[in-house]
Structure 1
């Protein structure tokens, strides 16, 4: 046994020695897969060992030839990927594409932590995108390890970048956006604010979603169906735009990351130089509803959020406005 040591370990139990071969593979929990070998004194030991070593060597050669681009392709064609929500699939395709653009030709097995860290650091001006690249890469590698395509984990121990929390818009910025001369920006701000929805759900709205009194939609992220009463200000804004067929989008353009980005840029330009993000309007809407005296349940019926999330979003609601609402209610009860 002294001359046969490569990939073999010896254990001892109840006075007996046992030998195991390291196959170079891992199971679904990331643990090494060992194969039991015959006793070295057994005449079949040499043949079994040679077969296992040959299989490991051939597999290692295949793994060494698999590029990062190839690993991503395999993952996106997998059942695991197919079971993800459509919105997650789109995000992973987008950010795994960015990963492939930078490291796609590298052997997937040889990509190291320092390679991923460098890529992410070069994206430091876009921390949100960097975090999505990290998550998308991690998903592909986790799947690859479970399938035995790779054994490495170049994402291990990498912390996500601080992105900061999306803030509600200042009152002056909200007023400016709602009154913008840019029709796309003005319509987008109205829809984002008065429906309290995410930009992807707003971008996907069609004229068939609006019956003149309600906007009906299914949230892409949660799958939750909502009937949202249309605010008078939103109804007035919608009336200024020619109504298309039921399958035509309210905001022109096919729903896509590119369309969402076009909306984002238009909205930001309308309130320049104030730095805001469209998602901040979701917080504005939640705060406005609460400040008007709506309960968390009533607010959640508009935004589609959980009650806990409504309270989380509401941390920056105006104490002054809430106090004024409370005092009006108090005085009304006494008259």
Structure 2
């Protein structure tokens, strides 16, 4: 870049009659702005040596960045302390999309990835908008980390918009009732745990028998790190009472090993499809939020059970039954009359 100067990457700024030289390092700050280094005054004997050192450093970084492929950048990211400090569930989610990014851009120099490359990846997943958005969010984290470590200077995710995606719907009432009354304990028990604790599927799969004590379910959420103490619902208590303990975890596979999230998700989706519904287990979290609110719980009380923010509780509650709320309101009005 020559801007008021014949020297590469140097710009000259005139202020109050004086001229100041700044070197464009080729690095962006977290806000996406270029980072400039102040050079010694023009004519200063130290000017030439300082400029040469900065130019060599920029050239070296650009050469390394050009040679650094996307798979290598992914590997560096996953080995980094920043990645390892993420919640285990977040690492798993990022891992899924990082593998896809590395596979799709397996020979591309990380420094040369452009916005159109990310748009192409996003559009190829257009039939799964939620997954496409997850991939873009992961790419943002990857390249944001890469810029912070000066492995790259580009931001190919800039201006790549997320797809408008629909939230996971709560389970229809008939499906929820059928699951809670199912003759198959392999369906009935996990649905009861998901519904009566209002937790994510990963947290439910991780629940141990030792987490049930003094009438409480003790949950440490994998995503947030929050520890919750949730009163055991009487129907869940009855379900747990009739369940044989075959593993340290409450949910176990036929061999007595802890049940994986993928296995449970597939099992519950098969059950739902057999009932004529297409749902995901996460929808039960919304059923739980709605049930708590419809039962008269405040947003704060509901948040204390789910571990969500007050704003997220309200977001999840968008599909609550307005008929039930209206019925409850009229009953309260009738009860208040003298």
Alignment TM-score, normalising by the size of structure 2? 0.85
Cα contact 1:184–1:251 (8 A) shared by 2: no
For 2:192 and 2:84, locate their aligned partners in 1 and report how far apart those are by CA, in whole Å: 35
For 1:332 and 1:37, locate their aligned partners in 2 and report how far apart those are by CA, in whole Å: 79
Cα contact 2:206–2:249 (8 A) shared by 1: no
Shift of 1:235: 2.6
- For these two proteins, the number of residue pairs brought into alignment is 331
For 1:96 and 1:221, locate their aligned partners in 2 and report how far apart those are by CA, in whole Å: 18
For 1:323 and 1:25, locate their aligned partners in 2 and report how far apart those are by CA, in whole Å: 57
- 1:291 paired residue number: 294
Deviation string, structure 1 residues 69-119 (Cα, Å, up to 9, x no partner): 222222223333233333322322232122112213311001111111111
Correspondent of 1:274 among 273, 277, 283: 277
Residue segments in structure 1 that go unaligned for 5+ positions in a row: none
- 2:211 paired residue number: 209
For 1:6 and 1:168, locate their aligned partners in 2 and report how far apart those are by CA, in whole Å: 59
Shift of 1:271: 1.8
Cα contact 1:187–1:251 (8 A) shared by 2: no
- 1:170 paired residue number: 172
Alignment of 1:262 onto 2:263 = yes
Correspondent of 1:88 among 90, 93, 96: 90
- 1:77 paired residue number: 79
| 3-state SS of paired residue (2:169) | coil
Cα contact 2:10–2:24 (8 A) shared by 1: yes
Q: What is the alpha-carbon root mean square deviation over aligned residues? A: 3.0
For 2:41 and 2:328, locate their aligned partners in 1 and report how far apart those are by CA, in whole Å: 83
Alignment TM-score, normalising by the size of structure 1? 0.85
Cα contact 2:77–2:83 (8 A) shared by 1: yes
| 3-state SS of paired residue (1:12) | strand
Structure 2 vs 1, CA of residues 227 and 294 (structure 1 numbering), >3 Å: closer, same or farther? same
Structure 2 vs 1, CA of residues 196 and 19 (structure 1 numbering), >3 Å: closer, same or farther? closer
